[in-house]
Amino acid sequence: GQNIDQPTEMTATEGAIVQINCTYQTSGFNGLFWYQQHAGEAPTFLSYNVLDGLEEKGRFSSFLSRSKGYSYLLLKELQMKDSASYLCACLEGGTALIFGKGTTLSVSS
């Protein structure tokens, strides 16, 4: 079975930095993904971590610690358009992504 936990909601202001945490317990772990989903739209791929450490992509970075079952998504220089749901997902056994319930981020000016 699998259990993926992330905060339900977070708020932040434009220009700030926010970190969205995700803890997981899965069997046959094959990687951790972060997706962004704006209201009424499809999820879009942000990052993939399979080894421990930090992956940086522009304003977004993702970190993984496999021994701790922990990941975070770091968003820098927040913009209003970053208001969205952020979904943490684990790949189990190379078969399918199992998603957490998502974190709704609200960015205010």
Interaction site with other proteins (CB under 8 A): 30-31, 33, 35, 37, 41-45, 48, 50, 85, 87, 91, 94-99, 101-102, 104
Smallest distance, other proteins to C-beta of residue 15, A: 27
Smallest distance, other proteins to C-beta of residue 99, A: 4
DSSP the chain: --EEE--SEEEEETT--EEEEEEEE-SSEEEEEEEEE-TTS--EEEEEE-SSEEEEETTEEEEEETTTTEEEEEE-S--GGG-EEEEEEEEETTTEEEE---EEEEEE-
Smallest distance, other proteins to C-beta of residue 25, A: 17
Q: Whose Cβ is closer to other proteins: residue 15's or residue 93's? A: 93
